[in-house]
Structure 1
Amino acid sequence: MSRAADGPHPHPLTDHPMARSVLYLRLGRAHAALGEELSCSRALAAAEHQLGAPTAEPAPTWCVWMSPSDLAVDSGRCLLDLGHRRSAHQLTQDGTKVLPVARTKTKAVFLAYEAEEYLRDGEYDRAATTATQALTMANRIGAPRCVELVHGLLPGFAGHTSAEGVGELLELARAS
């Protein structure tokens, strides 16, 4: 019998529920970027289902970081891409709040994502405050990806230097 007739064959790197959760989450992000809301919703639901699926096997090392926090924040980014700003903010904040302390670098990245969301909404003061938190944390722990993410947001603050916290953010960014 052919492989197609037998159905999919498990692969050790992608057969684990946590691995499938990550892959469905990435699929959801792709659908969101394309504006495909229904397909995105289905992929996010599958990611959530897989993340909660019981298994006795350890997750592959490439996806052991996956957690409900990661699912919430990336789902929020999907909703943001689809124009559901309020739900996006809530998921991102919820995911960031429950992230374990041991994942400080990820928290800094999540805060940068949250700042980007506020910036897109024109909430320059909240964006600046959140970006400052992210940049401060990233500088403290040596997280260059996060520093780069925050620096990438700076052009969005052009013309809004009078908003609360923007001056402080720009000063901190110049020093880092």
Structure 2
Amino acid sequence: MRAALAAHDFGTVFRLARAEARISYSKIAAECDMKPERVGLLARGQGSVTTYEKIARIADALRVPGRLVGLAPRPWETSAGPARTAARDQGDPDADGGDVRRREFFKASARTGLAVGLPELTRPRAGGRIGSDYPERLRARTARLRRLDDVLGGGDTYKVYLGEYASTKALLRDATYTESTGRALLSVLAEQAQQAGWAAFDGGRHRDATGLYEASHRAAVDAGDTELAGNALAFLAYQTVSGDRQAGIGIASRSVAEAGPGAAPGVRALLYERLAWAHAVAGNDVEAEQALEAAQGALSEAGGHRQPDWVAWVDQTELEIMTGRCWAELRRPLRAVPVLESALARYDDAHARDKSLYLSWLADSYLSAGEVEQAATVTGRALGLSSGVASARPRERLAPVLRRLGEHRALPAVAAVLEQARN
């Protein structure tokens, strides 16, 4: 029900209401001020509800808290009741709701196409001519849309990013433009395909992700954009390494070579990070450390150099987190814990999905060091942050940590976090 509400999939909401709460479609229709046949069509997967007024009406009729559908608290909600006060005292991130409401707002914006602060962009008519400035305007739009990934999971952003990619692909097919403008459009298309592929991967659509990464690589090669071509391979390596470690290392090595030594420092830092990760997953500690040192060297050159927007998130804190993740994967907790603790203390909780993922490696390292209670505490923080984020990865990452914690369920701290994971 929560997933359906977050996606504004009211057909599923209505089906669950009838199946689990025995509320008839006619009753739902009457309370929501809708025609019964409209409710039935929605329940069969036909049509959607997109207007604010109707969403608010459904939320009020079914007593759905506003935050679950991307709205401000409804008038009937009590903001200072005893349950909420208790939740706040217990550290429940939903109690005050700041980060959660921010995510819900961005979800609603993404689903309805309300890209807050996006540069205006008039789509050319089919067959229309595109000016030389259009690709850069489109790239600016792509950069602004990328910011949704800071607070949302791929389950919320995938359709948005895929729609942008499909629009640019149609533009390349239908519009007219010069050869140089066409290459620039292909470069933007490669960038959009990577963003859509990342959202697909994050949302558990691995086959879609692979197809989009491969399409991105082809577009980048055709555009002559070696940096994006290398990054497409880095994405493929990151996805591949968990299933085929040697293949992942091979693709990650190709990504560094394809971008070349002339790539922007931030790009080289990112690609070396991904190579380090591939080696860490394969258990190659010497090679992983060498790649991390290469990433640090590249990052130290970044000041004063112009970087592509798609590597803007690669900074010293992010590199420290990747370093800690690699040492955690290599079962070197004495090296992993200090760097992860230090970096994550500076990492904003607003990046809920990513921080919950990174905390899972810290919890894993505490377990490897025999610090079970501390591992349980960190796991609880990760579970709290991942709640309501439409990403498959935090739960996937936390599953083996929870299994390891299960061996110590007699400890009160562990029993509490296992109960939290069940709810």
Q: TM-score range by the shorter chain?
A: 0.7 to 0.9
Deviations, residues 26-52 of structure 1 (Å, cap 9, x unaligned) = 111222333333322221111111122
Partner of 1:3: none
Q: TM-score, normalised by structure 2?
A: 0.36
Aligned counterpart in structure 1 of residue 284 of structure 2, from 9, 26, 36: 36
The 3 A distance-change label for structure 1 pair 24 and 145 is same
- Quick check: 1:46 aligned with 2:294? yes
- Quick check: 1:134 aligned with 2:349? no
Matches within 5 A, 1:7-156: 11-13=226-228, 14=259, 15-53=263-301, 54-61=303-310, 63-139=311-387, 143-156=391-404
1:145, 1:170 → 2: CA distance? 18
| Larger RCO, structure (CA 8 Å, separation 6 or more) | 1
Any gaps of 5 or more consecutive residues in structure 2?
Answer: 1-223, 229-258
1:152, 1:36 → 2: CA distance? 21
1:69 partner amino acid: T
1:28 partner amino acid: A
Deviations, residues 52-72 of structure 1 (Å, cap 9, x unaligned) = 2234323242x3322222211
2:306 partner amino acid: E
2:410, 2:395 → 1: CA distance? 23
Q: TM-score, normalised by structure 1?
A: 0.80
Range that drifts further, 127-136 or 39-48: 39-48
Equivalent residues, number = 166
2:397, 2:226 → 1: CA distance? 34
2:411, 2:293 → 1: CA distance? 38
Deviation at 1:135, TM superposition (A): 0.4
Range that drifts further, 89-98 or 104-113: 104-113
The 3 A distance-change label for structure 1 pair 137 and 34 is closer
1:80 partner amino acid: A
User: Residues 139 and 147 of structure 1 are in contact (CA less than 8 Å); yes or no, is this contact kept in structure 2?
Assistant: no
1:11 partner amino acid: T
Runs of 4+ in 1 over 6 A off after TM superposition: none
| Percent of residue pairs identical | 27
Deviation at 1:142, TM superposition (A): 5.3
2:292 partner amino acid: L
- Determine helix, strand or coil for the equivalent of 1:148: helix
1:144, 1:32 → 2: CA distance? 22
2:309, 2:329 → 1: CA distance? 29
2:395 partner amino acid: V
RMSD, aligned α-carbons: 2.4
